[in-house]
Structure 1
Amino acid sequence: MGLAVEIPAATPSQPYRYRIAGLEVLALDLSPGDSVQVSSVDGAQSCEWLALKARGDEAADAAQQSGESPREAVKGAGTTIEASLAHFASVVSQGDHAFASQPQASEAQEMSGNRSPHTQARLEALGVAHCPPAYWQRLSAAGLPAEIRWPLEAPAARLILLAPGSDMTIEGERLATELEVSHFCTGLVGLEHLPVPLAPIRQETRVAAGTVEVYEVKQGEWIQIIDVAGRQCSDFVAFDATAWARGEELGLDAGATRSLSGHCMPNPGLYSVFFDQHLHPMLEVIQDTVGRHDSFMLACSPQYYEHHGYFGHDSCTVNFNNALSASHGIRQRASWPAINFFFNTWVQPCGTLAVDEPWSRPGDYVLLRADRDLICASSACPDDIDAANGWVPTDIHVRIYAAEHDFPRGIAYRNRPEELPRMTLPTAFHPCTSALTKQYIDYHGYWLATHYEGWGAKAEYLACRERVAVMDLSALRKFEVAGPDAERLLQYALTRNVRRLSIGEVVYSAMCQETGGMLDDGTLFRMGEQTFRWICGDPASGQWLRDLAEQQGYRVTVRDSTHQLHNIALQGPKSREVLAPLIWNARTQPEVETLGWFRFMVGRLAGPNGIPLMVSRTGYTGELGYEVWCHPHDAPAVWEAIWAAGEPHGIAPLGLDALDMLRIEAGLIFAGHEFCPQTSPYEAGIGFTVPMKSKEDDFIGRAAMQRETPESRHRIMGLRVDSSELVSHGDLVYHGRYPVGVITSATRSPLLNQSIAMCRLAPDFSSPGTQLEIGQLDGHQKRLVAEVVTLPFHDPERLKVRS
């Protein structure tokens, strides 16, 4: 949870933009003439706001005079906060209905009495936790978007904004979701503004367009390189300061970095280190809001511009030479090898290095940590003869933070092109899994383990096939779909016949676009007559459902509950023995022992007063298994209880590497491999999710799929490779000289002791027993013989998963 990164807009007249997560709080300083716009991402979240004396409130002033902390001063009745300043504001609602600008007595009691502990702690930190309820104003969800205007004659104020709610119940009730805020500052006309600092700044440097700045950092310090206006490249070089003091130029080496990491560019996570010429770590990438940089090309030089007919043009190389030789006497070069942050390059199939405008937006940044004392230099590239800097070179800004701070690792992603970046988060089970491994990757915005130290992928796989294994799958996206038209929306959006779904039942479905191509797959839980929970892989699925509901005029809300519902999978033949004794159920709920396949129950851990849970008989391994769902603050206790119960049965943790082996053997599809928006459910191998005959209602993609002829469809089949060599996703499959299919997923199967693959084949070559070849190298010099087989490889009748 927590506030998202704040990113300034491209021009000074644009606002500061913020995201307030559910239950979170944002404090803004208002000047006369400012305005603040507030909107609900899902159209169902209200907003509460409080306006007090600028920079703190009267409590802070009283505390300075009395020696009390602001928190204690606030507790001394209403004398320290004389009055809310909200009466100065004019509030303009752009919503469909009137909003409550002044809460009624019952609302005031609710607003003051039902704060979650998380929200209360945030308000305590701001010194306003004990502010009288009457001072709070409420904007209803129906009244959003709305604008709070602060008039020119009003005093400066501090505005507190809150996304109110309580911790979500396991059934999906009382869910608090995101608000988006835009702060228009009249005092910033003619000025640009930067992202909110990550911590107190030790030093900062502005690199003007077309120049270079040199700066020094100490071991452990943090370097934040910011693209001020967006689409601006910044070459970066670094030298070991201690080595330089003894006369050695020991610098950052891009070639060494690529060779040691096996990646073209370090990124936050497992492969995050830049190395020097001696192959020693020099810097580490901690945060990156762009994800697109260059480590191959040299910094621009005079020769580059001369070659294109621009004589005497400024260049990064000349700027580096002048700045570094003047400041430290570092020798000049004909062209500088550098890490070019924000430079958008890639290698085309023909081998050409292509260049286009950077992906970076105003305020995007890279955060580095120095592994030793360094001499650094950053450029704001002067290139204006091509798209490298969006055709208009602008400034770069560098901030240095002291070593005493600590910042989480994160890679930014966006669900919508226009939204603020979201950084990778640890799951609520991370305190438990991180005690067992350091091997994590970013998976859909969360850090998930690839494998566990002391086990390894094969041992984890065997534990799942033979005993029991537990896996953190909290990165799955959860959406609460509720309202009178919830069933109508899902009946139209999904391929399955949702009307046939009973309360307590789960169904696996595809979600398609009008062309019949798959956007996502997932499981749908029917929580009640008018409430559903959609569990899927793509964060964009929620917005797709919201847009669809708006287009159709359905009365339904689609709310993202991912951050308030985390889950683990307990899989393997011993999973029932481990889980059943732990779960208490009310008489109205089924027991774990009798829970049917694709059914769920709501219960509690270890008794009627225990942690509330949802348990579903679902999984992604082809084994008997369950998924256990809980609120994030209960996650460590849930993991520890299941782990303790599983130890007598030889439980093991399960990472993504082992999961891939398990799901391929089970013939289970994966986004970006077996399906994409150009692949129909039939060609993805899940035609059973499209009940054309029994589902009479229309659904998105139906007409396109009806136009397909079964005989012409490519098919997902299995391949058994007659070799111990590994094959890979994307390898072409040949019959003679020409390809007839492509491998979508592949692994080395411990069960079969051979390489296996899932493959999309032309219908003419998809019959079981057909002999084909997998092309490697150039597709012709090396061929691996393979036989077409039906899926799944493991448990063809799926008896284990149903047992």
Structure 2
Amino acid sequence: MDILTAFRNGVSRPKGRRFDGLQAPHPATVQRVDPRQAVRVDVAEGDTMSVLHADQTTGLQLAAFGPDGADALASLGVVATSHLQVDAFASGAMVGWIASKGGVAEATAVAEVTDAEALLVLRATAPAALWVINVSRVADHVAGVSSGAVEVHVKRAAASNLVLPPPLGKLRDEFTVSRATAQAYRLNKGETVQVIDVDGQQCSDFMAFRSRGLDAGVEQLIDSTVTRSMVGGAYPGPGLFDKFYDAEMRPMLNVVQDTVGRHDTFALACTARGYEERGFPGHVNCSDNISHVMADYGVARRSAWPAINFFFNSWIDRGDNRIQSEESWSRAGDYVAMTAMDDLVCVSTACPDDVDPINGWNPTDVHVRIYAPDTPVRRAIAYRPKENAPMSLSQNSAFHERTSQLTEQFIAARDTWVPAAYPSVGTTGEYWACRERVTVQDMSPLRKYDILGPDAERLLQHAMTRNIAKLAQWRGTYALMCDAQGAVIDDGTLFRLGPQSFRWCCGTEESARHLASLAVDLDVRIHDMQSSLPNLAVQGPRSRDLMRKIAFTQPHVPSLEDLKWFGVTVARLHNREGAPFMMARSGYTGELGYEVFCDRADAPAVWDAIMEAGVEFGIAPMGAHALEVIRIEAGLAAAGAEFAPDVDALEAGLGFAVDFKKTDFVGRAALDRNAQAPRRVLKGLLFECDDVPAHGAHVYLGERPVGVVTSATRSPTLERAIAMARLSVEVAEVGTALEVGLMDGHMKRITGTVCDIPFVDPRRERARA
């Protein structure tokens, strides 16, 4: 009898099999080591590691430790050549780990990878903790002479029927829920449960009951309606709104990690009736499985169980308002981790549905791990820059040690947690501090790439809409990268740090992929700086006064007073011995402002210096919510709003950044053509009310849609709602009265008047001051 027939006949119903407690080898993985970082890779006997060190401008070092903490370089076939230099990289995590093993960091033996070894292949003859160290000097880092990332590819020695991620902490228990079964288990307050999709695209229904309630004969369980209402959304996730609640609105579980981001809280676990009415009587179902395993805890049987359907990909279709579903987004090893806020009895299933796409048409196992409360799991969500890219979990910014003392309100920006708002100031207070005084904001999720080499200018001239040949050293320019259709791939600021050295600060990793595709046969290197060069935005009319107090520059680079709009220089804190940083007169607020880029190790000192110097000017920290208000008032474009894959640069309102006098660049022909007969333009809308339309709301002239809202907010300066909108050219004349549809566009409308953008300071006089 095949396994699917067994599902349908209801004979494959074993309880979840017990796991033996050993960590199963996981499949080939990729670890990234950014400049000045060290990453630990745990390897087992027989594992093979390929260390790719494509850029050899700086050093690469290896250290290894056995289970007893002793030197284990020999087990990897390499020989120690020196000792660890803790000042050559951001060594805090490694030093702490070595100390926890009873060792001394400075006495640790390391093997240095020579320049000739761009690809180093190692094979472990015994279990070891391998530390890969990407060494770089801080001064080189901020000045644009930087190393690229190192990649460590690990091929595990043996295949396994369980595809599991590394444990998140100290395990108290773990077990596998076999396909088409369910298993109940206890979860104590403070413990963390991790529900893992073993093979990918496998739905796992989850329910939890308060133990004290069951002991008293009362079923106090997760209420999905209350949860959706309390969190203000359909999918709880790590961050400010991250919990599952019972019917009394009391939190039961706190979501701390999620590598998928798409789950279902609309529907029931699958039921016998659901299969019967589609022609599959007798099919095993999750509701019966839940009732079966919960009977031991005195829980009454139900024909249909409400549940949180982890990894179930569902949505409500806007056309007919019906629930839709499709194959799951989860991949092998994806998981959700939740911390118990009370003593609970939980149940997890491995869904048996083989007649719908929800399990990829092939039901598989689910694995459950329970972690002891003395090893708390950090909050994180998964980030993939592209569908086939390796997953990374959101990290704390280098400034988190300081910002976390001021706020608990964080949001994930790409792969980094950044403050959304600071309660002691408030979003409105942060806004006015930027308009009237000075603010500091963590902008570390910005992507940074160094483009170096003899053909660097040639590559950038071809890729970007600005004339890079005219860009002088120590100058920057706002520029675009477009595809062949003229649509914006990415925008950002390009700085020239030397004749053949450029730094591109942009929004997404797509920039690097695009540049790499154009760099074939060119003598150029593209270095991804990513987390190794965190940055702050110091913005507001008093920002220059603040920077005067902390920025020391040498005579060979521009001084603070020399920096015009989009100028850049290299400075140090206070004096020639201070921490180095790159300083650019740029920002995303439309106000006078500066951006400061520094090494991770110096981030706390840079933050402290800025905050201390800013006290006399009334400095305030600013979060992402206030920035969104300010950037809309300033008419500054954002990805996914003003520009998107189906919108060309001119329709996105970015024509000012396109130099048609250049001989050629990617997208030039399409933009030339579109410039002759534009169909849509970006304009502003001023409303005589405070109703803020949603992104994507239609703009109407009478009954006909003539545009779409790209971004909207309430302007504290103008004391009304404002919006940027992409409009048909026929209705885009300043002063034209149009309507924006709310409540499906027809039940409620607000009237707006077309205007130019920016809404505030149209001549950019504040930024140029």
**TM-score exceeds 0.5:** yes
Could you say which residue in structure 2 is the equivalent of 1:338? 307
State the 1:544 CA deviation. 2.6
Aligned in 2, Cα 1:593/1:29: closer, same or farther, shift over 3 Å? closer
Q: Does 1:637 align with 2:627?
A: no
What's the CA shift string for 1:679-727, capped at 9, x where partnerless?
111111110111112x11x211112212224332311111111223222
- Cα 1:201–1:12 shift into 2, 3 Å: closer
Which of 192, 205, 217 aligns to 1:235? It is 205
How far, CA to CA, are the matches of 1:491 and 1:243 in structure 2? 68
Structure 1 pair 798/50, CA: closer, same or farther in 2 (3 Å)? closer
Change (3 A) 1:787 1:85: closer
- 1:471 matched residue in structure 2: 441
Given candidates 730, 735, 759, the residue that maps to 2:696 is: 730
Preserved contact between residue 163 and residue 179 of structure 1 (Cα < 8 Å) = no
Which residue of the partner structure matches residue 344 of structure 2? 374
Partners of 2:63 and 2:582 lie apart in 1 by 37
Residue correspondences, number: 739
CA distance in 1, matches of 2:63, 2:418: 39
Amino acid in the other structure paired with 2:297: H
TM-score (norm 2): 0.91
Amino acid in the other structure paired with 1:734: Y
In the alignment, is residue 442 of structure 1 matched against residue 431 of structure 2? Answer: no
- Of residues 650, 675, 699, the one that matches 2:643 is 675
State whether structure 2 residue 217 is matched by structure 1 residue 244. Answer: no
Shift of 1:650: 1.7
Query: Which residue does the alignment assign to 1:702?
Result: 668
Q: Distance in 2 between matches of 1:734 and 1:216?
A: 56
Give 1:24's aligned residue: 38
Indicate if the aligned counterparts of 2:185 and 2:346 stay in contact, CA closer than 8 A. Answer: yes
1:579 aligned onto 2:547: yes
Q: Distance in 1 between matches of 2:630 and 2:670?
A: 33
In structure 2, the residue matched to 1:650 is 618
Closer, same or farther in 2 for the Cα pair 1:292/1:35, shift >3 Å? Answer: same
Q: CA deviation at 1:470?
A: 1.6
Distance change (3 Å), C-alpha of 1:159 and 1:13: closer
Matches within 5 A, 1:770-785: 770-785=736-751
Question: Residue 91 of structure 2 is aligned with which of 113, 118, 136?
Answer: 118
Q: Which residue of 2 aligns with 1:611?
A: 579
SS of aligned partner of 2:498: coil
User: In structure 2, what residue type is equivalent to 1:796?
Assistant: P
Per the alignment, residue 6 of structure 2 pairs with: none
SS in 1 for 2:293: helix
Q: 1:288 aligns with which of 255, 258, 272?
A: 258
In structure 1, the residue matched to 2:118 is 143
Alpha carbons of structure 1 residues 449 and 164: separation in structure 2 relative to 1, 3 Å: closer
Q: CA deviation at 1:12?
A: 8.7
Tell me which residue corresponds to 1:398. 368
Deviates more, 1:664-673 or 1:347-356: 347-356
Q: In 2, distance between residues paired with 1:122 and 1:183?
A: 27
Decide whether aligned partners of structure 1 residues 139 and 128 sit closer, same or farther in structure 2, where only a CA change above 3 A counts. Answer: farther
Change (3 A) 1:47 1:639: closer
Q: Does 1:685 align with 2:659?
A: no
Counting only pairs closer than 5 Å after superposition, residues 309-328 of structure 1 correspond to structure 2 as 309-325=279-295, 327-328=296-297
Tell me how far 1:571 sits from its aligned partner. Answer: 1.2
Partner Cα distance (1:201, 1:610) in 2? 45
Is the 2:684–2:756 contact (alpha carbons within 8 Å) kept by the matching residues of 1?
yes
TM-fit CA distance, 1:16: 4.8
Sort the Cα spacing of 1:576 and 1:19 in 2 relative to 1 into closer, same or farther, 3 A. closer
1:546 and 1:129 map into 2 onto residues whose CA distance is 38
List per-residue Cα deviations over 1:294-346 (Å, max 9, x = no partner). 00010000011111111111000110011101x21100111000001000111
Matched, 1:383 2:353: yes
Distance 1:44 1:301 in 2: 61
The amino acid that maps onto 2:95 is: A
Question: 1:460 aligned to 2:430?
Answer: yes
Aligned to 2:719: 753
Aligned 8 A contact 1:466 1:572 in 2: yes
Which residue of 1 is the match for residue 74 of structure 2?
84
SS at structure 1 position matched to 2:730:
helix
Instruction: Report the counterpart of residue 624 of structure 1 in structure 2.
Output: 592
Shift of 1:542: 2.0
1:65 aligned residue: none
* DSSP 3-state at the match of 2:225: helix
CA gap of 1:85–1:475, structure 2 versus 1, over 3 A, is closer
| Residue aligned with 1:514, SS | coil
Secondary structure class of the residue paired with 1:244: helix
CA displacement 1:565-590 (0-9 Å, x = unmatched): 11111111111112112211111222
Q: CA deviation at 1:732?
A: 0.9
- Report the Cα distance in structure 2 between the residues aligned to 1:429 and 1:25, rounded to whole angstroms: 20
Give the match's secondary structure for 2:91.
helix
From the superposition, tell whether residues 417 and 38 of structure 1 become closer, same or farther in structure 2 (CA, over 3 Å). Answer: farther
Q: 5 Å matches for 1:464-543?
A: 464-543=434-513
Quote how far apart the aligned CAs of 1:179 are: 0.9
CA 548–102 in structure 1, closer or farther in 2 if over 3 Å, else same:
farther
Q: How does 1:29-178 map to 2 (within 5 A)?
A: 29-32=43-46, 34-39=47-52, 48-49=61-62, 55-56=66-67, 60=68, 70=69, 84-85=74-75, 108=81, 115-116=88-89, 118=91, 121=95, 124=98, 136=111, 138=113, 140=115, 143-144=118-119, 147-148=121-122, 156=126, 158=128, 160=130, 162-168=132-138, 169-175=141-147, 177-178=149-150
Contact 1:294 / 1:343 at 8 angstroms: preserved in 2?
A: yes
Q: Is the 8 A contact 1:102 1:138 kept in 2?
A: no
On the 8 A contact 1:513/1:677 being kept in 2, the answer is no
Residue 233 of structure 1 deviates from its aligned partner by: 0.7
1:423 aligns with 2:413: no
Report which stretch shifted further, 436-445 or 415-424. Answer: 415-424
Give the Cα separation in 1 of the matches to 2:154 and 2:486.
38
Question: Are the equivalent residues in 2 in contact too, given 1:715–1:762 (CA < 8 A)?
Answer: yes
Whole-Å separation in 1 of the counterparts to 2:419 and 2:25: 42
Q: Which residue of 2 aligns with 1:588?
A: 556
How far did residue 148 of structure 1 move?
A: 3.7
Offset at 1:230?
1.0
Pair 1:180–1:700, CA change in 2 (3 A):
farther
After superposition, the Cα gap between the structure-2 partners of 1:41 and 1:205, relative to the gap in structure 1 and judged at 3 Å, is farther
The alpha-carbon distance between structure 1 residues 19 and 314, as it changes in their structure 2 partners (threshold 3 A), is farther
Q: CA RMSD, aligned part only?
A: 2.6
Can you give the 5+ residue segments of structure 2 that lack an aligned partner in the other structure? 1-23
Label 1:576 to 1:15 Cα distance change in 2 as closer, same or farther (>3 A).
closer
1:597 is matched with which residue? Answer: 565
CA distance in 2, matches of 1:306, 1:398: 30
1:168-247 correspondence to structure 2 within 5 Å: 168=138, 169-175=141-147, 177-185=149-157, 188-189=158-159, 191-247=161-217
**Which amino acid in structure 1 is aligned with residue 530 of structure 2?**
T
Distance 1:582 1:420, change over 3 A: same
Match status 1:561 vs 2:529: yes
1:290-305 matches, cutoff 5 A: 290-305=260-275
> Matches of 1:728 and 1:547 in 2, distance apart?
36
SS at match of 1:544: helix
Determine helix, strand or coil for the equivalent of 1:359.
coil
The answer (yes or no) to whether the contact 1:17–1:183 under 8 Å persists in 2 is no
Contact kept, 8 Å, 2:55 with 2:148, in 1: the verdict is no
> Once the two structures are superposed, what CA deviation does each residue of 1:60-105 show, in whole Å capped at 9, x if it has no partner?
4xxxxxxxxx57xx7xxxxxx8x83555xxxxxxxxxxxxx989xx
Distance 1:730 1:44, change over 3 A: farther
- Structure 1 gap segments, 5+ residues each: 1-10, 61-69, 75-80, 88-100
Q: Which residue of 2 aligns with 1:66?
A: none
One-letter amino acid of the counterpart of residue 84, structure 1: A
For 2:116 and 2:386, locate their aligned partners in 1 and report how far apart those are by CA, in whole Å. Answer: 21
